[in-house]
Amino acid sequence: MKLLLIILTMLFVSITKLNAQILEEDIELQTNGISVEYENKFQENIDIFLAVLSDFGVTDAIKPIIIEISYEDRQGYIAIRAKYKHEDIFARGTEYYNHNLSSKYFGDGISVGLIDHIFTALTRYKRTVATDGLDFNQDISDLTNIIRLTNNEGNWVNFYSYNYAQSGYYRFNYYNHVLLNHNNERYTIETVNFRALSEFKYFVIGAASGLDGKKSGNYYLRRFFQLDDE
């Protein structure tokens, strides 16, 4: 009986951890250059962003989250800053682990399933804030979307996307590059297969070194996503 209780307790803890949700108190909104009216609208609609993350079952390992909105001279960005814990996000048997494994035939790279889910949540969030009855604020829609994942060493990588309307739907599409910060050095890295990124949510990473044998940004991107540790 005691053994059964231990097993049930462990199972409950595992299920609770699996279904742990990101809550509004896990999110901080930071704004620069937008009116109080729109700052309030972004704050009031964070539940839309959270609901989509919850629908996708996005792990709470990425919290705390900062939503940063910056706007100047009629252009700006909205950035989601989150934690990157490789061992939690790509734990064996999880959706992202399986997607990463099944996408290997494209070449060395990393699943952006998590990134895709966050961009989807961000797109829904932006559309809600931008919509007021029949009016639609195009300036909000035109904000560049950024997702920044930061690991325990303080290194980070930015993914980028933009929104567009098509056949009555409001969608997003990726830019073909990421910006990596490794030990305060910046590297702009393009995927070598944009179709794999845009259609199959997989970022294919190129050669780790150039013809001169020097390490490229790809080498450090591989290290960030722990590709050589798998």
Query: What does each of the 230 residues of the chain score in pLDDT, given as a tens digit?
Result: 444 333 333 433 333 344 568 999 999 999 999 999 999 999 999 999 999 999 999 999 999 999 999 999 889 999 999 999 999 999 999 999 999 999 999 999 999 999 999 999 999 999 999 999 889 999 999 999 999 999 999 999 999 999 999 878 899 999 999 999 999 999 999 999 999 999 999 999 998 887 787 888 999 999 999 987 54
Strands (E), 33-184: 65-72, 75-83, 109-111, 131-132, 135-136, 144-150, 156-166, 169-182
Whether omega before 64 lies within 30 degrees of 0, making that bond cis, reads: yes
Domains: count for the chain: 1
Q: What is the pLDDT of residue 160?
A: 98
> Considering the domain boundaries, does residue 12 fall inside one?
no
> Considering the domain boundaries, does residue 107 fall inside one?
yes
> Considering the domain boundaries, does residue 15 fall inside one?
no
Crossing angle of helices 113-130/36-44, nearest 10°? 130
Rounded distance between C-alpha atoms, residue 8 and residue 51, angstroms: 29
Q: Which domain holds residue 83?
A: 22-229
Q: What is the pLDDT of residue 20?
A: 64
Q: Are 35 and 62 in contact (CB under 8 A)?
A: no
Q: What is the pLDDT of residue 145?
A: 98
Q: What is the pLDDT of residue 24?
A: 93
> Considering the domain boundaries, does residue 7 fall inside one?
no
* CA separation, residue 18 to residues 97, 169, 213 (Å): 14, 31, 43
> Considering the domain boundaries, does residue 213 fall inside one?
yes
Rounded distance between C-alpha atoms, residue 88 and residue 65, angstroms: 16
This model's pTM is above 0.85: yes
